[in-house]
Amino acid sequence: MLSRLDDPLTPDRPLIVILGDDTDEEDHDLLFPALRARGVSVIRVHPHDIVTRMDPDEVSFSVGPLELHPDLVVGWVLDDLLVPGMSYLDVFARLGVPVINDAMTLFRAQNKFLDSTLLSDGGALRYPVITGRDDTALQDWLEDLDAPAVVKPLVGHGGRGVEKLADAADAPALLARLRERDEGYYVVPWIDNPGRDIRVYTVNHHPVFAMYRYAPPGKWITNILAGGHLAPCPLTPELSELAARASRAAGTLIGGIDIGENRATGELVVYEVNSCPTCEPPVIEAVADFLAAAAVDLEQARATWRPARVHTDPPPDPELFHASKRDRIRPD
């Protein structure tokens, strides 16, 4: 079985179901005990393990011998699990079960085209974007830009498939590769940054912790999965305001906002909003607080919950990061 059913469920505690897989097991090893300490039961259910029974007057769910009666479902599905996970999140929501990061929130945030439109609607998109399949339109856009650009896959994470175009002359080779894969393009200007970006974690749209992600020497992709390094980042008022605005625009009640520092303009720019970010230990404490409140009354939690602690200026403490990443901490 692909699920994690290691909680002795009791009827006196609300039940949270994390719909996902073991990709973020390190998070769950901290989150699950934190939730249980707050009087909440929690299990992780893989979409492939769920059996659904539809009778004339009832829809029921089970995983093995366990019948599912969740008080809250947390959607944490991506990549190949996104579509099957969205199906269950949609059904749970229509049956009246509260859902956090619901089906459409996950779908929109995990598609960079839709993510950008949400940021644009919310006033958090501070640079132009072009996406489509028309070769001439991209060529003309790059010539007008007259500067380097970055190409990203419409769906994906961890820095996979991201590449830099030096100028419009690089476009034909890119377009040929995309045609071979039957893919469209998503292109944004290159941001002249100090060799790093910033990940801001938000819970209920409130920023709680931020970290720098540095590109390896001689490279420019900052993702930790791509070999980047990390360090704590101060949560300035400007950074907090922009991250909160981006989170509200995307609708992510638990999210990670990737932000760049534009050295040419002095502005901060939002790259994207992540709906299923790996969360560092300080974030997990805030997530546990919020989920425990949401399992009792989601609407009340959304209206009133505030983080008990915001890491405004965190010290360079290895305990701020997962044990698996402490060798990636950038030395002072």
Query: Are the C-beta atoms of residues 214 and 165 closer than 8 Å to each other?
Result: no
Q: Are residues 206 and 321 in the same domain?
A: yes
Residue 134 lies in a domain: yes
Residue 121 lies in a domain: no
Q: Are residues 163 and 211 in the same domain?
A: no
Residue 163 binned pLDDT confidence (cut-offs 50, 70, 90): confident
Q: Are residues 298 and 209 in the same domain?
A: yes
Tally of domains within the chain = 3
Q: Alpha-carbon distance 254 to 250, whole Å?
A: 11
Q: What is the pLDDT of residue 126?
A: 85
Q: What is the pLDDT of residue 158?
A: 61
Q: Are residues 322 and 284 in the same domain?
A: yes
Q: pTM for this structure?
A: 0.94
Domain boundary among 170, 189, 208: 189
Residue 271 lies in a domain: yes
Regarding beta strands 99-100 and 72-75, do their DSSP bridges make them parallel or antiparallel, or are they unpaired? parallel
Q: What is the pLDDT of residue 242?
A: 97
In this structure, what CATH number is given to the domain that contains residue 202? Answer: 3.30.470.20
Domain boundary among 53, 75, 109: 109
Q: What is the pLDDT of residue 157?
A: 67
Q: Are residues 208 and 290 in the same domain?
A: yes
pLDDT in tens, 102-134: 999 999 999 999 999 999 999 998 889 999 999
Q: Are residues 74 and 164 in the same domain?
A: no
φ, ψ at 163 (rounded to 5°): -145, 160
Residue 206 lies in a domain: yes
Residue 119 lies in a domain: no
Q: Are residues 233 and 177 in the same domain?
A: no
In this structure, what CATH number is given to the domain that contains residue 29? Answer: 3.40.50.20
Q: Which of these ranges, 20-29, 39-48, 126-135, 221-230, has the smallest mean pLDDT?
A: 221-230
Q: What is the pLDDT of residue 97?
A: 97
φ, ψ at 303 (rounded to 5°): -80, -30
Residue 231 lies in a domain: yes
Residue 326 binned pLDDT confidence (cut-offs 50, 70, 90): very high
Residue 234 CB: number of other CB atoms within 10 A?
13
Q: Are residues 259 and 170 in the same domain?
A: no
Q: Are residues 132 and 177 in the same domain?
A: yes
Query: Are the C-beta atoms of residues 149 and 189 closer than 8 Å to each other?
Result: yes
pLDDT at residue 161 tops 80: no
Q: pLDDT averaged over the chain?
A: 93
Q: Are residues 298 and 241 in the same domain?
A: yes
pLDDT in tens, 257-281: 999 999 999 999 999 999 999 999 9
Residue 24 lies in a domain: yes
Domain boundary among 75, 109, 143: 109
Q: Which of these ranges, 49-63, 168-182, 316-330, has the smallest mean pLDDT?
A: 168-182
Q: Are residues 175 and 204 in the same domain?
A: no
197 DSSP assignment: E
Of residues 6 and 126, which shows the higher confidence score?
A: 6
Q: What is the pLDDT of residue 14?
A: 98
259-283 burial: b if 16+ Cβ within 10 Å, else e:
bbbbeeeeebbbbbbbbbbbbbbbb
Query: Are the C-beta atoms of residues 207 and 310 closer than 8 Å to each other?
Result: yes
Q: Which domain holds residue 27?
A: 15-109
Q: Are residues 172 and 275 in the same domain?
A: no
Q: Which of these ranges, 57-66, 103-112, 176-185, has the smallest mean pLDDT?
A: 176-185
Residue 156 binned pLDDT confidence (cut-offs 50, 70, 90): confident
In this structure, what CATH number is given to the domain that contains residue 134? Answer: 3.30.1490.20
Residue 242 lies in a domain: yes
Q: What is the 3-state secondary structure (H, E, C) of 125-190?
A: CCCCCEEECCHHHHHHHHHHHCCCEEECCCCCCCCCCCEEECCHHHHHHHHHHHHHCCCCEEEEEC
pLDDT in tens, 201-255: 999 999 999 999 998 888 888 877 777 899 999 999 999 999 999 999 999 999 9
